[in-house]
């Protein structure tokens, strides 16, 4: 599957040698200022009174190959659940979903691509032709409301350029990986109208061998992304940006093995596919020196298929027992949203020219339909069972919100910020089982912040914020009818930190400490109704009494010379349940979880790395990430092992081209990204831990050409 290890033995010493013996000189230029665009107002990252990580286009191209999941390791306190081929279920500071939702879409981590909301279905996050990715940690109650209890990932594709330009990317690698992409753009009519178009395709076998089917592509990846942008700017009054996106992610799903290896035995491999189309229209009017107006419209349509071989085996593997199950889900989701904002301009500040203000309204219409089928049979001569169940349901929701923000100068160096959002959600649900529900609720979130500028390059801040997440309901059978519905959840967060740029702007660093309390915490767990039937698990959500989280995050970036750049990121996390009880898999009683850590919340996450560049065009880069062990779920007390991943690359940059040789997971570390504890081996079905392994070592080459 991978090139001969001799290639790796040549690659790593070359990279390490470049780091060890490169000459050091004083840097001529400071680190470029980073602008955060996911906030109400575009501001420098130094000015944001909260913990934010921004991954720019240069870092993305130097660190990853294809998908956002490859960047997660370098972001403090960000994790993901490998319940699917690609990362779509994210956890920020231990808060986030672990698997596919049922009934009501209710994500804790927002995921937005070019102002189009894909929260909960972000497996389409491919990386070609991006401008930057912003990760906002902590509740975003006033800006994004119910879909950003834990935080937000905001993906921004490349902007149209003033002059015609383009790039072509070609690549190949282990796992039979092939990639090709092209992007181009420039002016259409003078400088007032500009465009950007890109197309990209990636395929690979998916790092699994199916020994029964004698195939290496049952977990394969086949991913196509098309993007388009049109930017029109009048003579100072209007700016209108139209962004479009189409993705076709047609990935296989054959990721779990009985022996927790990368060798599969399934006879009916599944799919993890998502086809999405969307657009956003952002119009900004700044024709007055007192007030500005913005309109943001978006729409998206996604069709998703998620299926899997539920017994993970075949007739020969289970003989003489007959044991054969398969699960299939087909989901369609449509969203339409509209937001209007009025905000103060330079001469429109109030309270004696001390306060900037902003007011806005928001509405989103969502429709989500789900069709599932579970089939199978079991016979061990003592017990037999046959399954053929179907289900269909439709969920409609209307979210409406009003929000506002005030930012007031306190003296010459301080600023006090206040934001508030009122949101109402009304729903309508019905399904083929006769279940008809229409829960609705009103929710309030916001933040109060104070920031103090010791100088133009040193900021301190303290922020108290509240986020919220709507309630919902459980489908099918539940342990008790009182658990059919669950209420909304809130998260209170207190955070304080420092941000600075030092050494003539060549050193950027920041750190924060935080403490969070989750009230009526929603926790999703499972119960196996029929022993021996892996498709009979009931997944249900219930409100926990409380959860607490405390931690620390720090990021450092240093450019000591024109040839060197280094970084170090760290996240420490103590996220635990308190006063909560839940049903455990295979038991009928209640089990206390109070005091136990929450799932997918590693106590530490570290990342260090750097780049060396020579005047000849040669460059080398190393990235090392590490994370501690974490609990896989709330239904068991099984944990992952701690692990470390090393990525490396070397290459040459010419006037209009770049060639790279890269290695991901260079030391071929074995690590788990998802785990289940249950019985899946007939006829006795002993409970044991089954894990999904992360991607092994992959080596490849990439060629970029500009024109």
pLDDT value of position 189: 78
The residue ranges of the chain whose pLDDT is under 70 are 1-29, 479, 526-538, 545, 581-592
pLDDT value of position 23: 44
**Domains within the chain, CATH numbers bracketed:** 5-706 (2.40.170.20)
DSSP E strands in 470-617: the ranges are 472-473, 485-486, 489-502, 507-519, 522-528, 537-543, 546-558, 564-578, 581-583, 590-592, 604-613
The H-or-E segment that residue 16 falls in is helix 5-21
pLDDT value of position 482: 74
597, burial (CB in 10 Å: exposed 0-12, middle 13-18, buried 19+): buried
pLDDT value of position 531: 61
- The answer for residues whose C-beta is within 8 angstroms of residue 666's C-beta and 6 or more apart is 8, 11, 12, 646, 647, 648, 697
Relative to beta strand 151-157, strand 109-113 is parallel
pLDDT value of position 77: 97
Give the Å distances, CA to CA, from 265 to 207, 268, 300, 533, 688: 14, 9, 37, 18, 18
Q: List residues bridging with 572 in a β-sheet.
A: 552, 604
Give the Å distances, CA to CA, from 702 to 14, 66, 180, 610, 662: 17, 11, 10, 19, 8
pLDDT value of position 38: 87
pLDDT in tens, 349-368: 999 999 999 999 999 999 99
pLDDT value of position 27: 58
Local structure of 74: helix, strand or coil: helix
- Rg (Cα) of the chain, in Å, rounded? 26
pLDDT in tens, 571-615: 999 999 887 765 544 444 445 678 899 999 999 999 999 999 999
pLDDT value of position 18: 45
Q: How many CB atoms lie within 10 A of CB 162?
A: 11
pLDDT value of position 4: 46
CA–CA dist 607, 573 (Å, integer) = 15
Give the Å distances, CA to CA, from 263 to 254, 258, 438, 566, 693: 10, 9, 45, 38, 11
Of 248, 237, 129, 133, residue with least CA distance to 192: 237
pLDDT value of position 409: 96
């Amino acid at each position: 599957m991978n090139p001969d290890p001799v290639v790796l033995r040549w690659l790593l010493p070359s990279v390490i040698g470049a780091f060890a013996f490169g000459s050091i000189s004083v840097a001529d230029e400071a680190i470029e200022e980073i602008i955060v665009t996911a906030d109400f107002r575009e501001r420098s990252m130094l000015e944001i009174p909260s913990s934010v990580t921004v991954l720019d286009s240069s870092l993305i191209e130097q660190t990853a190959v294809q998908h956002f999941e490859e960047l997660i390791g370098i972001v403090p306190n960000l994790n993901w659940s490998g319940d699917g081929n690609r990362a779509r279920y994210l956890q920020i500071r231990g808060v986030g979903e672990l698997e596919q939702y049922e009934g009501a879409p209710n994500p804790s981590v927002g995921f937005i691509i070019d102002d189009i909301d894909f929260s909960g279905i972000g497996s389409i996050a491919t990386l070609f032709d991006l401008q930057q990715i912003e990760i906002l940690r902590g509740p975003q109650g006033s800006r994004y409301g119910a879909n950003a209890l834990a935080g937000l990932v905001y993906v921004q594709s490349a902007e149209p350029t003033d002059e015609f330009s383009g790039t072509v990317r070609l690549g190949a690698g282990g796992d039979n990986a092939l990639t090709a992409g092209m992007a181009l753009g420039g002016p259409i009519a003078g400088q007032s109208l500009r465009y950007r178009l890109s197309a990209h395709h990636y395929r690979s076998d998916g790092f699994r061998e199916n020994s029964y089917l004698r195939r290496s592509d049952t977990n394969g990846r086949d991913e196509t992304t098309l993007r388009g942008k049109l930017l029109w700017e009048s003579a100072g009054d209007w700016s209108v940006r139209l962004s479009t996106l189409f993705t076709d992610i047609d990935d296989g799903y054959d990721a779990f093995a009985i022996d927790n290896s990368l060798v599969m035995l399934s006879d009916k491999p599944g799919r993890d596919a998502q086809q999405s189309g969307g657009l956003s229209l952002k119009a900004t009017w700044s024709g007055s020196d007192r007030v500005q107006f913005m309109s943001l419209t978006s729409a998206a349509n996604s069709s998703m298929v998620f299926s899997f071989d539920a017994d993970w085996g075949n007739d020969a593997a289970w003989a003489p027992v007959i044991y054969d199950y398969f699960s299939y889900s087909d989901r369609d989701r449509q969203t339409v949203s509209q937001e209007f904002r009025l905000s103060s301009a330079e001469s429109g500040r109030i309270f004696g020219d001390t306060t900037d203000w902003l007011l806005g309204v928001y509405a989103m219409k969502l429709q989500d339909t789900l069709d599932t089928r579970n089939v199978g049979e079991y016979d061990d001569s003592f017990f037999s069972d046959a399954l053929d169940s179907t289900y269909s349901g439709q969920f409609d929701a209307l979210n409406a919100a009003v929000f506002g923000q005030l930012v007031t100068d306190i003296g010459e160096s301080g600023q006090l910020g206040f934001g508030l959002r009122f949101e109402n959600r009304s729903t309508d649900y019905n399904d083929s089982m006769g279940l008809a529900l229409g829960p609705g609720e009103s929710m309030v979130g916001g933040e109060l912040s104070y920031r103090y500028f010791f100088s133009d390059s040193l900021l301190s801040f303290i922020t108290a914020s509240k986020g919220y997440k709507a309630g919902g309901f459980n489908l099918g059978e539940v342990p008790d009818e009182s658990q059919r519905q669950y209420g909304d959840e809130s998260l209170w967060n207190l955070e304080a930190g420092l941000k600075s740029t030092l050494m003539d702007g060549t050193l950027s660093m920041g750190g924060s400490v935080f403490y969070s309390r989750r009230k009526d915490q929603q926790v999703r767990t499972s119960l196996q109704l029929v022993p021996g039937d892996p498709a009979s698990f009931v997944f249900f959500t219930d409100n926990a009494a409380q959860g607490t989280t405390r931690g620390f995050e720090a990021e450092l970036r240093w450019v000591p010379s024109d040839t060197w750049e280094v970084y170090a990121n760290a996240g420490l996390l103590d996220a635990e349940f308190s006063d909560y009880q839940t049903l455990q898999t295979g038991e009928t009683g209640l089990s206390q979880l109070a005091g136990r850590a929450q799932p997918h919340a590693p106590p530490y996450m570290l990342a260090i790395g750097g780049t060396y560049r020579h005047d000849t065009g040669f460059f080398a880069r190393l990235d090392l990430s590490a994370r501690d062990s974490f609990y896989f779920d709330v239904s068991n007390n099984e944990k992952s092992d701690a692990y470390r991943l090393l990525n490396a690359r070397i290459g040459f940059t010419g006037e209009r081209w770049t060639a790279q040789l890269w290695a991901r997971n260079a030391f071929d570390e074995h690590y788990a990204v998802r785990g289940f504890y249950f019985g899946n081996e007939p006829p006795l079905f002993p409970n044991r831990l089954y894990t999904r392994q992360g991607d092994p070592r992959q080596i490849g080459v990439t060629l970029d050409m500009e024109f």
